[in-house]
């Protein structure tokens, strides 16, 4: 009777890491063996399968298309094994590791995460704040919150909000520029990392989508947000992210004309990975807290937003 696993588990793990990382060294480090041992794992696996798994190129090892097709399954399988062992031993059940971008962390989550912690006092939330798209199969990550169109390979997503957006500015900036009919002559903050679409908003607001905008330029989204609060110009911002500073008066929405874009904030996990109890608690909390944060803004701002001509 043939074995359903003709390749040893360590060799499968080596294949998965090398295919994901594109190098032998990360696999050697994670497996606690030499680079030569990892190379032997790959060679013997290829011999047993009767096919090449990697193309040897001047740029390094490149997984063949057949391996790339099953890589999400391999990654999810090893993630499930790790989760199962952690559940068996009770390890890591008291810590939820979340990777988030700087704007979501600084403008929304950090002000509310204490509510989650108060509701679940035995569960600590640890944030990895980065603009990079981290590998969600990593054992030190439970989930991520990503901004985009929701189409990422090997990732399962749930939209949590953030699709509506519009310009915001500081109250003193609006007082200094009461006539916003000609945006070409008003400072507009450019966030080089933003996926929000000015032409789409301009068209939605009945303005020329080809309007040439100019103003301060920032390569960091959080700094662009601070620039708007400090009165440097108009900034295109997701309503979900601007709700708090609008409520407390640091920002205003001079046009009161949100448009819904194609991008939003998604709760993201490795596809095929079992949802742990702690992750379900976090998901359920987001389902409550996101609408509540937007609803709080609407309740406070009813009738208070000034519309520009």
Q: Residue 303's pLDDT is what?
A: 44
142 and 272 fall within a common domain? yes
Q: Residue 85's pLDDT is what?
A: 67
Q: Residue 86's pLDDT is what?
A: 64
9-21 vs 65-89: helix axis angle to the nearest 10? 120
Judge whether 269 lies within some domain: yes
215 and 97 fall within a common domain? no
Tell me the C-alpha distance between 228 and 197, whole Å: 17
- Which residues are CB-contacts of 200 (< 8 A; sequence separation ≥ 6)? 209, 259, 261
Question: What is the CATH number for 48?
Answer: 1.10.10.10
Question: What is the CATH number for 203?
Answer: 3.40.190.10
Nearest to 131 by CA among 170, 94, 100: 100
201 and 250 fall within a common domain? yes
Statement: residue 152 has pLDDT above 60: yes
Give the SS3 label for residue 307.
Answer: coil
70 and 32 fall within a common domain? yes
pLDDT tens, position by position, 12-57: 989 988 988 888 988 888 888 999 999 999 999 999 999 999 998 8
User: Total domain count for the chain?
Assistant: 3
Judge whether 304 lies within some domain: no
The more confidently predicted of residues 91 and 238 is 238
pTM: 0.71
Considering only CA atoms, give the Rg of the chain: 24
Judge whether 31 lies within some domain: yes
- What is the CB neighbour count within 10 angstroms for residue 111? 12
- CB 297, CB 243: distance < 8 Å: yes
pLDDT tens, position by position, 193-210: 999 999 999 999 999 999
Boundaries of domain holding 57: 9-88
Judge whether 307 lies within some domain: no
Q: Which residues pair with 283 in a beta bridge?
A: none
Mean per-residue pLDDT for 167-177? 97
Tell me the C-alpha distance between 230 and 144, whole Å: 30
Dihedral, 24, 30, 35, 38 alpha carbons, nearest 10: -80
Judge whether 251 lies within some domain: yes
pLDDT tens, position by position, 84-143: 666 655 555 789 999 999 899 999 999 999 999 999 998 999 999 988 888 888 878 899
Judge whether 147 lies within some domain: yes
28 and 101 fall within a common domain? no
Banded model confidence at residue 309, pLDDT cuts 50, 70, 90: very low
73 and 119 fall within a common domain? no
81 and 122 fall within a common domain? no
Give the SS3 label for residue 289.
Answer: helix
Among 30, 55, 88, which residue terminates a domain? 88
Tell me the C-alpha distance between 43 and 31, whole Å: 17
Q: Please, what is the end-to-end C-alpha distance for the chain in angstroms?
A: 79
235 and 168 fall within a common domain? yes
Among 220, 241, 261, which residue terminates a domain? 261
Statement: residue 69 has pLDDT above 60: yes
Q: Residue 10's pLDDT is what?
A: 85
Judge whether 195 lies within some domain: yes
187 and 70 fall within a common domain? no
């Amino acid at each position: 009777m043939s074995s359903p696993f003709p390749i040893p588990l360590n060799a499968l793990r080596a294949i998965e890491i090398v295919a994901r990382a594109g190098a032998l060294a990360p696999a050697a480090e994670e497996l606690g063996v030499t680079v030569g041992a990892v190379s032997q794992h790959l060679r013997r696996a290829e011999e047993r399968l009767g096919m090449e798994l990697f193309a040897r190129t001047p740029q390094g090892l490149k997984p063949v298309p057949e391996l790339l097709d099953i890589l999400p399954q391999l990654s999810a399988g090893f993630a499930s094994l790790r989760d199962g062992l952690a559940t068996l031993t009770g390890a890591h059940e008291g810590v939820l590791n979340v990777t988030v971008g700087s704007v979501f962390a600084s403008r929304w989550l950090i002000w509310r995460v204490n509510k989650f912690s108060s509701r679940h006092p035995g569960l600590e939330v640890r944030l990895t704040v980065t603009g990079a798209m981290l590998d969600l199969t990593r054992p030190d990550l439970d989930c991520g919150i990503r901004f985009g169109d929701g189409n990422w390979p090997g990732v399962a997503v749930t939209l949590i909000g953030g699709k509506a957006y519009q310009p915001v500015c500081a109250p003193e900036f609006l007082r200094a520029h009461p006539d916003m009919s000609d945006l070409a002559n008003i400072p507009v903050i450019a966030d080089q990392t933003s996926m929000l679409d000015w032409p789409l908003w301009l068209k939605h607001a009945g303005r020329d989508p080809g309007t040439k905008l100019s103003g301060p330029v920032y390569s960091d989204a959080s700094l662009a947000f601070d620039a708007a609060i400090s009165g440097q110009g108009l900034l295109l911002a997701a309503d979900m992210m601007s709700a708090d500073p609008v409520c407390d008066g640091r920002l205003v929405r001079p046009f009161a004309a949100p448009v819904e874009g194609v991008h939003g904030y998604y709760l993201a996990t490795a596809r095929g990975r079992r949802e742990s109890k702690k992750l379900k608690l976090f998901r359920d909390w987001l389902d409550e807290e996101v609408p509540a944060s937007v609803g709080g803004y609407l309740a406070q701002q009813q009738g208070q937003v000034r519309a520009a001509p």
